[in-house]
Amino acid sequence: MSIRLATSLAVLAAAIGSPALAADWGEDWSPEEVYRGAYSTEPKDWSEMGDESDGIHIETGLRYWYSWGSQNYEVDGQSFESTDNAHTVEAHIRVEEDATRTYAKGWAGYSAAITGGYSDPSGSGDVTDGVLGYAGADFGWNALGDGKGTGVGGFVGYNYWNNSPRTSRYNFTTATSAADVTYSNASGNWSVPGDSVDDKIELHMLRLGLSGKAEFNEFLDISAEVAAVPFSTISGVLGGHAAGGGAFGGPGCNVLPPDSCAPEILKGSATEINGWGYGAMGEIMAGIKPMENLTLRVGGRAWYVNGTYDATWTQVSVTAPQIRPPVPNPDTPDPNDTMPPDPLYSAPTVSTQQVISTENPFSLFRYGLLAELTYSF
């Protein structure tokens, strides 16, 4: 028993005197030390995520675009033109992946601060507001890149563009049947309701292009892109297009049947357009990095699209209330003794038909100066 006790005491003394290797988590990690060789980087030095060793880089920020725009639309040879200046605020983001040298980017901008002038067959005037809005996305590959964002390559993308300075608004009637006509069966006076709308022109554009970016001394960078627009749809409303020219009200028709008065021909809807076009887009920017992760850039941008569209609208024909012939007086047997009918005027009539004008040309051009503030991580 004394032998067993001596052995146990010896083992206990050895355990107490040995260093506790697994419990000693000091600051000086090294691959040679036991239990520490599984980490290539010490936890206190974990800083790769988001820095230069990370394979994904993100840029996001705001842009200001001061632009000049010109628009021209034709319908049956009539020209509708406008020019403007617009102040646009834009948000953007770009994500790059080093290993594949690919990137994706998106942007969206909006402006209601638009001024300028317009002219159309009805006259001319000032543009005081309107809508300029756009949004899009590209996916690209820096085929000749260094794997760090610098390089040259191709991209494919999409851009939505709402280019709608407020110009003239031509009235149209909303009457589609005789029930919509207000009239007096005693006097024959009549009127129809009306409405008008602003221009609203929207384009959906396919982008195919080349982009390039170069960095110098981690302080200066230059980027540029040029894109063909091989196909773009155009749709919307031309608020200033006039058609018909008839009166929206007036006296009754005082011609006895079987004769009649000529109907009033009115425009019965806004003019809607649908077509397609093609064009080009370009942009160039130069930037400096006043501090880490922050970039200031200035540059320019230009967009151009032209093509043709079909214009459609409703035409309304209104026949005014017509005076009715006298009727025999029931209070006398004399057949030549007549009296006014009751009611004195008949109800008006309304008919509609659709009108289409095909292959009308259009062109849109917008260009201007860009300023950008971007944060990268």
Q: Going from the N-terminus, what domains does the chain have, and what CATH number goes with each?
A: 58-376 (2.40.128)
DSSP string, 153-174: EEEEEEEEEEEEE------EE-
CA distance 269 to 194: 9
268, pLDDT greater than 80: yes
Per-residue confidence (pLDDT) for residue 257, from 0 to 100: 94
Model confidence band, residue 377 (pLDDT cutoffs 50, 70, 90): confident
Nearest to 299 by CA among 57, 86, 67: 67
pLDDT mean over 217-234: 94
Residue 370: pLDDT band by 50, 70, 90 thresholds?
very high
Write down the pLDDT at residue 292: 87
Furthest CA-CA distance within the chain: 159
Q: Helix and strand tally (H, E) in the chain?
A: 1, 19
pTM as predicted:
0.80
Q: Over 90: is that where the pLDDT of 249 sits?
A: yes
What is the Cα–Cα distance from 35 to 25, expressed in whole angstroms? 9
Confidence of residue 218 (pLDDT cuts 50, 70, 90): confident
Give the pLDDT confidence of 275-305 residue by residue, as tens digits. Answer: 999 999 999 999 999 998 999 999 999 999 9
pLDDT-derived band at 53, boundaries 50, 70, 90: low
- CA-nearest of 158, 167, 124 to 139 is 158
* CB contact at 8 A, 182 and 190: yes
Cα torsion 173, 179, 185, 188 to 10°: value is: 20
The region of weakest confidence among 80-89, 168-177, 215-224 is: 215-224
Residue 54: predicted pLDDT? 61
Position 148 confidence tier, pLDDT thresholds 50, 70, 90: low
**pLDDT given for residue 149 in this prediction:** 62
Average pLDDT estimate for 360-364: 98
* DSSP H or E segment with residue 240: none
> In angstroms, rounded to a whole number, what is the distance separating the alpha carbons of residues 182 and 248?
11
